[in-house]
């Protein structure tokens, strides 16, 4: 993935998220995608591992239902070999990243990662 492709993907990604268009988002994922997120544990229970496009649809649909003001702002992109990291801020001001691994033009694996706050007293 080159920088122009990464920029184009991220622009579409944030547009689709901000429109709450789960179907458009899922067009970029393989049918057997694996996605992990600690937010999935809070929303769906389980271990936070989502397997397959239909399960990802369920997770994201529930997420946008529960967070009607969901909105993302891309802060930075990091491009690797078949990998893209989208660093973003959400509607609550939280900073997170999605680490996406591609198989051709589709995402086959993704991981939501959230900024860890240092424990108090360890400054």
pLDDT tens-digit readout, 112-121: 999 887 555 5
**Mean pLDDT in residue range 92-97:** 93
Distance, CA of 102 to CA of 69 (rounded, Å): 29
Amino acid 115: pLDDT: 87
Amino acid 121: pLDDT: 52
**Mean pLDDT in residue range 52-76:** 96
Amino acid 1: pLDDT: 83
**pTM, to two decimals:** 0.91
Query: Model confidence at 47, in pLDDT bands (50, 70, 90)?
Result: very high
SS3 57: helix
Distance, CA of 66 to CA of 59 (rounded, Å): 11
Class of domain 3-114: alpha beta
Q: Across the chain, what does the average pLDDT equal?
A: 93
Contact 110, 35 (CB under 8 A): yes
Query: Model confidence at 72, in pLDDT bands (50, 70, 90)?
Result: very high
Q: Could you tell me the CA-to-CA distances from 70 to 22, 35, 59 in Å, in that order?
A: 12, 19, 14
Distance, CA of 7 to CA of 76 (rounded, Å): 10
The ranges assigned to domains in the chain are 3-114
Distance, CA of 109 to CA of 47 (rounded, Å): 16
Amino acid 29: pLDDT: 98
Share of the chain above pLDDT 90, in %: 87
Amino acid 123: pLDDT: 47
DSSP letter string over 67-92?
-TT--EEEEEEEEETTEEEEEEEETT
Distance, CA of 60 to CA of 68 (rounded, Å): 12
Show the tokens assigned to 15: 């547009």
pLDDT of residue 11 exceeding 70: yes
Q: Is the dihedral of CA 12, 22, 58, 87 positive or negative?
A: positive
């Amino acid at each position: 993935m080159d920088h122009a492709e990464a920029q184009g993907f991220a622009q579409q990604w944030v547009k689709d998220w901000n429109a709450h268009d789960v179907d458009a988002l899922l067009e970029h994922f393989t049918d057997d995608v694996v996605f992990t997120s600690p937010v999935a544990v809070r929303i769906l229970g389980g271990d936070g591992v989502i397997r397959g496009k239909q399960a990802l649809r369920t997770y994201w649909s529930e997420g946008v239902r529960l967070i009607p003001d969901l909105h993302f702002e891309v802060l930075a992109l990091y491009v690797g070999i078949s990998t893209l990291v989208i660093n973003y801020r959400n509607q609550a001001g939280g900073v997170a990243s999605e680490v996406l691994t591609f198989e051709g033009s589709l995402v086959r694996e993704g991981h939501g990662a959230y900024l860890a706050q240092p424990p108090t007293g360890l400054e």
